[in-house]
A and B are shown apart, each in its own frame.
Chain A
Amino acid sequence: MVFVDEYPKTSKLVRRQFIVAFVALGIGALFGIVQALHRTGVFRGLISSADYYTLLTGHGVLLALVFTTFFIAGLFGWAVTSSLQQELPQRVAWWAFRLMLFGSVLATVAILGGVMGAPSILGQDLSADVLFTFYAPLQAHPLFYVGAALLIVGSWLAGLAYFKSLWQWRAENPDERIPLQAFMVLTTMLMWYIATIGIAIAVVGFLLPWSLGLFDNINPLLTRTLFWFWGHPVVYFWLMPAYLLWYTVLPTLSGGRLFSDPLARVVFVLFLLLSTPVGIHHQYVDPGIAEGFKMIAMTNTMFLLLPSLLTAFTVVASMEHGARQRGGTGLFGWLRALPWRNPAFTGMALAGLMFAAGGFSGMINAGMNINYLIHNTLWVPGHFHLTVGTAVALTFMAGTYWLWPQLTNRQLYSRPIGLAQVVIWFVGMALMSNAMHVMGLFGVPRRTAEPQYQGFDFLASFGSITEFRLQLALGATLLFISTVLFVGNIAASSGTPKRSGHGRPLSQPLSGAADSPAVLDNLRLWFGIAMVLVVLAYTLPLVSIIDGGGLLGRGVEPVPVIAEPLTTLAEPLSAAAEPITEWAKATLGGVLR
């Protein structure tokens, strides 16, 4: 039976979530190409350098938060439903979706206000040029913080729907092991609940009331530390769903079976335990945090490599098993027997390959003292475009090629375009990310509209800076083309004729759940240990930060950021947007007053 025929209600929800994700992906990618051409100096006619930061904020929020969170909500909804074999509790799940959507729209409107002349809404200029990290005392419009908070609260509710589904299933199956996909979803959500404590306190406890003027001062190191409390585990919130696809769908696509169910569970438990007490590794060069705390974060971070290294083994072993089932032979000859014409398979395999490269650059970042060389250089976005930008994003796109027909009863508009799309992504990212890593080593900073300075030039120890700029721009162009092909392919699929029978059941692991100790399924136990580790890792640093700088920093004043719209694009844009902003003012003003 096809998913959509068996679970029509959840299918509808998952489709909605995916559509929101893909709209965010398209807009985010558009901002991405404009920025890449701007910062490399290839074309600077579209936006001013001040607007660059508005688009950069949009790029980060729309791709890293909106695209990922909505796709994950959809993927998890599918995984929980198909593995527990019952529809999701609809009321909670739909309310989660509505809240997340409302929050995302508010945050996006607040950000785009920056390129629309920052109209005054609720007595403050509508603007949120604060980037994805929104470090205080840079201050955004309150709507931005409200939107971010609602998106997070919505994701909590989505998690509640999965747990309610589990409890319902447990009542009917008291002695069964939790099915693997549901287990992966639930451990990921438990990790997410712990991680979001940090950002919830930062946004609701400090940034939102501060932006509303309830108090004037803020401790920037405190809100920054709370941001990174969440800011590292969030990368595992993106990655674990990709792992879910690698562990449970990729073996089937390869024509084989997962190597080991028990080890997959061990890997997800390790992520639950170790994802959060590591955030301070983003703050290796922060003043005000003692070296010992950085050392602890470094050690935890290194151990967090373990579940990813185990995953690399299992994924490759499962693919090899599949290839040999398909008649592949030889030490490496089996690689030829894999279904390379299938965009879903090829996309995931290329994403996994690129994740190996991203893992290695991540090991450099984690190395506390080498990190001095690359901190906040272009190396860092080079790194995370391999991880979240490829290992996660390309896996999600590849997974969509496989999942979408089962959600719609329509086949994909074009498999060859899909195949070309995933290959173009791989090539484009190889170019762009290589150029970013290399320029980072030469000292070129990230997050900078025009990385050219008076008085000195960046020196390339090999090649030339111009050459790497062009490589970056070319890679970004290919990535944009790839995104357009993806979104277009999915959109065009709504016109293919309806027929049932898409998809096939997932293969069972070679070594099943019964081989693993039952304690692995004791979610309360792992959640408890994870909480203890977080308390151990964060209590002393937070106490010393508050002790040093005060709960609300002494003398730190808010600095609202408004980009002056200077360019030819911004003015017609803001003129065109006037009816919308007027409408937004009228409605939002009415709602909130």
Chain B
Amino acid sequence: MQVHDFEKLWLGAALLLIVGFIATVTYGTVGAGVQMVDDSGGQIDPQAVQQSNTGTNFDNPGVVKQSDDHYVVYVVAQQFQFVPGTGDNPIRVPADTRITFKVTSADVMHGFSIVETNINTMVIPGQVAEVTAKFDETGTYGLVCHEYCGAAHHEMGGSIEVVEKSNYTYNGTEVQN
């Protein structure tokens, strides 16, 4: 089979581009430490989530302190609100601190994305999505459900208030683990 010289050159360049892409993504994962949402959150019964009967922190969702440098935020997504997050119940977390969001659904599929950040995950009934991030800047961030979840999907949003670490007051109980 005869392949024109220009075409060979193009083929080589195309392969180089492809290998380059794979290398940068691999670097992002291994070097820069951008972890993908994965199966680490485990499974949960959505009916139990709905009835606050899971025996986990999802029964009373909110911010749970693990240590001075690590907080976990449990969020239940349901038609058409985030608990906490929506309306006058924003999520409050400190800046410059490791924050792990654990999000699950009580009914249908939802999305969980924090505007102007790369915090972005699907929320699938039966699964717990887990994302860890650190907010460098204080301020109010928008929270959006980005997967269609029913007739009032467009009303499902919320906000996250990120405050100075020194000004942050934690009201809940500290959890040891």
Distance to closest chain B CB from A258 (angstroms)? 13
Q: Interface code B30-47, partner A: CB below 8 Å = 1, 0 otherwise? A: 001011111101110111
Residues of A within 8 A of B11 (CB): 310
Residues of B within 8 A of A562 (CB): 151
For chain B, the bracket of interface size reads: 35 or more
Q: Is the CB of B21 within 8 A of A306?
A: no
Judged by DSSP, the binding face of B is mixed
B126 beta carbon closer than 8 Å to chain A: yes
Closest to A380 in B: B146
Q: Is the CB of A260 within 8 A of B4?
A: yes
A544 to B38, CA, bound (A): 12
Question: Which residue of B2, B124, B147, B152 contacts A511 across the interface (Cβ within 8 Å)?
Answer: B2
Closest to A553 in B: B126
Residues of A within 8 A of B147 (CB): 135, 376, 447
A203 to B109, CA, bound (A): 18
Distance to closest chain B CB from A137 (angstroms)? 5
Residues of B within 8 A of A383 (CB): none
A46 beta carbon closer than 8 Å to chain B: no
Q: Is the CB of B121 within 8 A of A443?
A: no
Contact flag A287-B47 (CB < 8 Å), given A220-B109, A306-B14, A369-B29 = no
Q: Is the CB of A556 within 8 A of B21?
A: no
Q: Is the CB of B22 within 8 A of A298?
A: yes
Q: Is the CB of A287 within 8 A of B153?
A: no
9 smallest CB-CB distances across A and B, nearest first, come from: A456-B142, A555-B47, A453-B157, A443-B115, A287-B129, A50-B151, A555-B45, A376-B146, A445-B146
A480 to B15, CA, bound (A): 39
Q: Is the CB of A363 within 8 A of B154?
A: no
Contact flag A50-B152 (CB < 8 Å), given A515-B1, A549-B127 = yes
Q: Is the CB of A548 within 8 A of B43?
A: yes
B175 beta carbon closer than 8 Å to chain A: no
Distance to closest chain B CB from A183 (angstroms)? 15
Contact flag A290-B115 (CB < 8 Å), given A298-B22, A559-B108 = no
Q: Is the CB of B10 within 8 A of A450?
A: no
Closest to A455 in B: B159
Q: Give 7 new A-B contacts, CB below 8 A, not counting A287-B121, A377-B146.
A: A285-B129, A367-B25, A443-B142, A450-B154, A455-B142, A515-B1, A561-B150
Number of residue pairs A-B, CB distance < 8 angstroms: 237
Q: Which of B141-166 contact A (CB under 8 A)?
A: 141-142, 144-155, 157-159
Q: Is the CB of A135 within 8 A of B120?
A: no
Q: Interface code B121-139, partner A: CB below 8 Å = 1, 0 otherwise? A: 1111111111000000000
Residues of B within 8 A of A446 (CB): 146
Q: Is the CB of B2 within 8 A of A515?
A: yes
Q: Is the CB of B113 within 8 A of A449?
A: no
A562 to B152, CA, bound (A): 11
Residues of A within 8 A of B129 (CB): 285, 287
Residues of B within 8 A of A553 (CB): 46, 125-126
Residues of A within 8 A of B124 (CB): 220-221, 224, 286-288
Question: Which residue of B111, B119, B126, B151 contacts A53 across the interface (Cβ within 8 Å)?
Answer: B151
A43 beta carbon closer than 8 Å to chain B: no
Q: Interface code A559-570, partner B: CB below 8 Å = 1, 0 otherwise? A: 101111000000
Q: Is the CB of A287 within 8 A of B41?
A: yes
Contact flag A285-B121 (CB < 8 Å), given A366-B21, A554-B126 = yes
Residues of B within 8 A of A52 (CB): 154
B140 beta carbon closer than 8 Å to chain A: yes
Query: Which A residues contact B (CB, under 8 angstroms)?
Result: 49-50, 52-53, 56, 129, 131, 135, 137-138, 219-221, 224, 259-260, 262-263, 283-291, 294-295, 298-299, 302-303, 305-306, 309-310, 313-314, 317, 363, 366-370, 372-373, 375-377, 442-443, 445-451, 453-459, 511, 515-517, 544, 548-549, 553-557, 559, 561-564
Distance to closest chain A CB from B80 (angstroms)? 11
Distance to closest chain B CB from A134 (angstroms)? 10
Closest to B87 in A: A454
Q: Which of B1-33 contact A (CB under 8 A)?
A: 1-4, 6-7, 10-11, 14-15, 17-18, 21-22, 24-26, 28-29, 32
Closest to A456 in B: B142
The 16 sampled A-B contact pairs (Cβ below 8 Å) are: A259-B4, A262-B2, A263-B3, A263-B7, A283-B122, A286-B37, A287-B37, A287-B129, A314-B7, A363-B21, A367-B28, A446-B146, A451-B154, A456-B142, A456-B159, A559-B79
Q: Is the CB of B21 within 8 A of A302?
A: yes
Contact flag A305-B18 (CB < 8 Å), given A287-B38, A515-B2 = yes
Residues of A within 8 A of B7 (CB): 259-260, 263, 310, 313-314, 317
Q: Interface code B44-70, partner A: CB below 8 Å = 1, 0 otherwise? A: 011110000000000000000000000
Closest to A517 in B: B1
Query: Which B residues contact A (CB, under 8 angstroms)?
Result: 1-4, 6-7, 10-11, 14-15, 17-18, 21-22, 24-26, 28-29, 32, 34-39, 41-43, 45-48, 79, 87, 90, 107-109, 111, 113, 115-116, 118-130, 140-142, 144-155, 157-159
Of the listed residues B28, B48, B90, the one surrounded by the most CB atoms of chain A closer than 10 A to its CB is B28
Q: Is the CB of A455 within 8 A of B151?
A: no
Question: Which residue of A50, A291, A555 contacts B35 across the interface (Cβ within 8 Å)?
Answer: A291
Question: Which residue of A138, A458, A511, A549 contacts B108 across the interface (Cβ within 8 Å)?
Answer: A138
Residues of B within 8 A of A288 (CB): 39, 41, 43, 124, 126-127
Residues of B within 8 A of A517 (CB): 1
Residues of A within 8 A of B141 (CB): 456
Distance to closest chain A CB from B143 (angstroms)? 8
Q: Is the CB of A287 within 8 A of B128?
A: yes
Residues of B within 8 A of A458 (CB): 115, 142
A288 to B37, CA, bound (A): 8
Distance to closest chain A CB from B131 (angstroms)? 9
A363 to B17, CA, bound (A): 11
Q: Is the CB of B151 within 8 A of A298?
A: no
Residues of B within 8 A of A455 (CB): 90, 140, 142, 157-159
Residues of B within 8 A of A309 (CB): 10, 14, 17
Residues of A within 8 A of B113 (CB): 375-377, 443, 445
Q: Is the CB of A557 within 8 A of B47?
A: yes
Q: Is the CB of B34 within 8 A of A516?
A: no
Residues of A within 8 A of B154 (CB): 49, 52, 448-451
Residues of A within 8 A of B122 (CB): 283, 285-287, 376
Distance to closest chain B CB from A287 (angstroms)? 4
A40 to B74, CA, bound (A): 33
Q: Is the CB of B37 within 8 A of A373?
A: no
Question: Which residue of A260, A287, A555 contacts B48 across the interface (Cβ within 8 Å)?
Answer: A555
A370 to B24, CA, bound (A): 10
